[in-house]
Amino acid sequence: MNSLKRPENRRNLLQTFWKGRLNKLKKLMTGNEAVAYGAYLSGVKVGAAYPGTPSTQIMENFATYPGVFAEWAPNEKVSMDVAIGAAFAGTRAMVSTKHVGLNVAADSLFYAVYTGINAGLLICCADDPGMHSSQNEQDNRNYAKFAKLPMLEPADSEEAKQFAGVALEMSETFDTPVIMRFVTRTSHSSSVVDYDPDQVPPPQEEPQPYKRNPQKHVMVPAFARGRHPVIEEKIKKLSEYADTSSLNRIEPGDDSIGIIAAGSVYNYAREVFPNATFLKLGMVYPLPKEKIRKLASMVKKVVVIEELDPFFEEQVSFMGVEVTGKSIFPVIGEFSPSLVRSCAEKAGLIEPEKKENETAASEAVGKAANLPIRPPILCPGCGHRGMFNVLRDAGVVVLGDIGCYTLGAAPPLNAMHFTGCMGASIGVAHGVTKGNTTDRSVAVLGDSTFFHSGLHPVIDVLYNKGTTTTIIADNSTTGMTGHQEHPGTGLTLQREPAVTVDIEKTVRGFGYEKVDVCNPYDMDNFRKVLEDHLESGQPSVIIVKKPCVLQTKEKHTPPRIDPELCTDCGTCLDVGCSPLVQEDGYVSIDPLLCNGCGLCVQVCPMEAIIQE
Amino acid sequence: MKKFDFLMAGVGGQGTILASNILAAAGVEFGYDVKTAEVHGMAQRGGSVESHVRWGEKVYSPLVEQGKADFVIGFETLEAGRWPMYLNKDTVILVNDYRIPPPPVNLGKATYPTKKEIEAILTSSGSKIIWINATGIAKDMGNPAMVGVVLLGALSVYLGGTEEQWLSLIERLVPAKFAEMNKKAFVAGRAEKSA
């Protein structure tokens, strides 16, 4: 304060203030962009993540700000440890992950709650209700209760930006990591954010000696026992904080109904119940008990509207407050304003809206439901297609993994028979060979997935006398999430040259003797190599290498089909490439969609597909 | 203040996300509160995609409510036909007259619906359907991938704002080396609807 007594300092401060006001702009940002911006402005200097829809763009955006270090870690657990380390060293840090990534990082999350941190640690975690791009729709709010740490949930991008600062303050005040929960509709929704191009984060503090505190940071049983009571006490204090914080607010309305909601669901509910009383939660764990009781005293009926699990409802009910929720709104799937309205109408919470032409409309909806479906498929020119074509013809059981190549499971390829989670392919394939089956099998996973969690099971096969052939579909990028770098690409997230971890040398280094590298478009050769590996009875690795054509923009002249030579046998259609179209009595190629990869030329038994 | 709810439907990779970004920026430019919703990841690999854009005085939900869309913009004929539940009698439907057969049709296991069948689905609520040869126009302007910008040009006729305002938004949001081409595609789409 003393420095402000000097007039020139006061003037500078005022100038800075007004400059900020005048330059304040409105900018559309997704929730992912906004939380990255908020974290940057709040002085986060270290960020780590593994890509995963819908969270990917959080770290991609954070990486673009000046003066920050951001990395793609090989997996979410590593990213969590890196951010925890930075926070131990006194620097504000951030992790971002999709919901299932937090499963991978959970071990680290749980110890960090016990150890606490020395600077703010923000964990951004994006759930995917409705499974737009995920293998399950787990509700990660449960992690807050399970691991005993606070969780915030923004409803739009401005909140995502502001909550970043609040979360980091909270993290330091309560000496705990803080999770900010997103869902697809907050991560990938854009809304208006106050943006000030002149605003910069506080400067980085001078480096300090590392704070050595074994009793707090070395979690051997004797020390960990001392930490558990501290955590329980902390959650009590956070619960009190939740009641005083403006993150949770009562929005008074009429007294017939009081709605408890958070995040994107709050927005849907606001549109369906414009006049109701609301308790809008910005902090979703621990809950503000006094505010919940106050809401109950203001209204005739308390209703919880929440996507997925009855996370609020069970806690509110446990408090002895009469509440309804999951008897009206489903546990399964993504919510929308339409879904909230139809459930509320059915339960008699609101008057049904008048609808015109209801019979015609429902007939049209029925017809639309019968239109041919359009599932996602491998892109034209994708290297995975040649590989799966050979695997299907070989009749092997394919234990697959998570990535673009999971689309090999779709018809007409039908060439993948298991996908569970990141890195599961190799261990499951090893288990299948140790089990009791007559079928031959292989594991298939991508290069990025191999670095994520394929290293350990590939060692297990070798060590425990397995015979599994592991096929690494190497497209030299993290494809499905939109082309992120990884340890094998030679570039970091911040586009700096890096060591390229060579997959072939890595597996040879582990002790694999049978290793081959193949081009998926040379199907004859890949077929030979595959048979050789399967018959060898040895543990082996085949690296099927073809850089993603979406990324390299590799494109060739589309071939054409001579309708005179085409006998309409359907062999080319079985490679499942979208430019190939069944016409009346022959097949044609849409040159606008075709990549010119030539795979169909190779498979046509009539030589009717001509590459010019 | 009037509200505008837009639903864009297309095939992953057709550029619905760029088009919804331009449309959202236009809403901000014209003084509306704006929200959008879209999906990334697996849904983008050639599958059905839909983007929501909403303009209004105060927009809560980024998702358009069923029965309340003011505009449906179909980037591909079949994809436009999937969304009758969003329509009402006043909805304006702009559809690119262009077919990308989905896998079951390619394989001969399903039939691509006729234009009449799609029209029957989309006009049942009394709404109007306007066919636009957007892929053809985009191709003439240099790149069939600009289909979204051509459709936005046609849509812009209903939304106010001067041609200059729209073109400056495109200049801001499209990578510099493609800006000129996209501006031409927009103007061609706008002329198509005005004509």
Q: Locate the domains of chain B by residue range.
A: 4-194
B166: exposed, middle or buried (Cβ count in 10 Å: 0-12, 13-18, 19+) = buried
Give pLDDT, residue A24. 66
Give pLDDT, residue A76. 98
Give pLDDT, residue A205. 84
How far is the C-alpha of A190 from the C-alpha of A54, rounded, in Å?
A: 13
A604 and A510 within one domain:
no
pLDDT mean values, one per 10 residues, chain A (612 residues): 44 46 76 98 98 97 97 98 98 98 98 97 98 96 98 98 98 98 97 93 90 96 97 98 98 98 98 98 98 98 98 98 98 98 97 83 93 93 96 98 95 96 98 96 98 98 98 96 96 98 98 98 97 97 96 95 94 93 91 93 96 86
A409 and A310 within one domain:
no
Record: contact B28-A192, CB cut-off 8 A: yes
A400 and A261 within one domain:
no
pLDDT bracket for residue B41 (50, 70, 90): low
Give pLDDT, residue B108. 84
How many structural domains is chain A composed of? Answer: 4
The dihedrals phi and psi of A337, each to the nearest 5 degrees, come to -60, -35
A174 and A141 within one domain:
yes
Which residues in chain A are contacts of B42 at CB distance < 8 A?
A: 53, 132-133, 376, 406, 480
Instruction: Give the HSE-up count for residue A321: Cα atoms under 13 Å, Cβ half-sphere.
Output: 27
Q: Which of residues 84-113 of A touch B (CB under 8 A)?
A: none
Provide the CATH number for the domain around residue A479: 3.40.50.970
A159 and A46 within one domain:
yes
Give pLDDT, residue A13. 47
Domain region containing A418: 383-552
Give pLDDT, residue A189. 97
- For residue A98, which of A47, A32, A38, A171 has the smallest C-alpha distance? A32
A287 and A189 within one domain:
no
A5 within a domain of the structure (yes/no): no
Q: Determine the residue of chain B that is closest to A338 in CA distance.
A: B65
Per the rule left: phi > 0, alpha: psi between -120 and 50, beta: everything else, A34 is alpha
A11 within a domain of the structure (yes/no): no
**Which superfamily is assigned to B4-194 in CATH?**
Pyruvate-ferredoxin oxidoreductase, PFOR, domain III (3.40.920.10)
- For residue A403, which of A457, A468, A442, A452 has the smallest C-alpha distance? A452
Substitution target from B33, B48, B88, B107 for chain A, most A beta carbons within 10 A: B107
Contact A470, A442 (CB under 8 A): yes
Record: contact A364-B62, CB cut-off 8 A: no
Write down which residue in A507, A523, A552 finishes a domain: A552
Give pLDDT, residue A244. 97
Q: Does the bond joining A547 to the residue before it have cis omega, within 30 degrees of 0? A: no
Which residues in chain A are contacts of B113 at CB distance < 8 A?
A: 371-372
Substitution target from A58, A182, A192, A374 for chain B, most B beta carbons within 10 A: A374
A28 and A164 within one domain:
yes
A206 and A92 within one domain:
yes
A263 and A227 within one domain:
no
Write down which residue in A242, A276, A297 finishes a domain: A242
pLDDT bracket for residue B125 (50, 70, 90): confident
Record: contact B102-A356, CB cut-off 8 A: no
Provide the CATH number for the domain around residue A578: 3.30.70.20
Average pLDDT over chain B reads 93
Record: contact B33-A192, CB cut-off 8 A: yes
Which residues in chain B are contacts of A553 at CB distance < 8 A?
A: none
Q: Determine the residue of chain A that is closest to B89 in CA distance.
A: A356
Give pLDDT, residue B106. 86
A2 within a domain of the structure (yes/no): no
Provide the CATH number for the domain around residue A273: 3.40.50.920
ipTM: 0.95
Region B160-183 average pLDDT = 93
- For residue A574, which of A427, A380, A389 has the smallest C-alpha distance? A389
A77 within a domain of the structure (yes/no): yes
Give pLDDT, residue A612. 81
- Cα of B135 to nearest chain A Cα, Å: 10
A226 and A78 within one domain:
yes
- Nearest residue, CB atoms, B35 vs list A190, A480, A581: A190
How far is the C-alpha of A167 from the C-alpha of A162, rounded, in Å?
A: 9
Taking each helix axis from N to C end, the angle separating A99-115 and A76-88, rounded to the nearest 10 degrees, works out to 30
Q: CA angle A582-A584-A588, nearest 5°?
A: 45
A118 within a domain of the structure (yes/no): yes
Write down which residue in A242, A275, A297 finishes a domain: A242
Give pLDDT, residue A15. 46
> Which amino acid belongs to residue A254?
D
A213 and A258 within one domain:
no
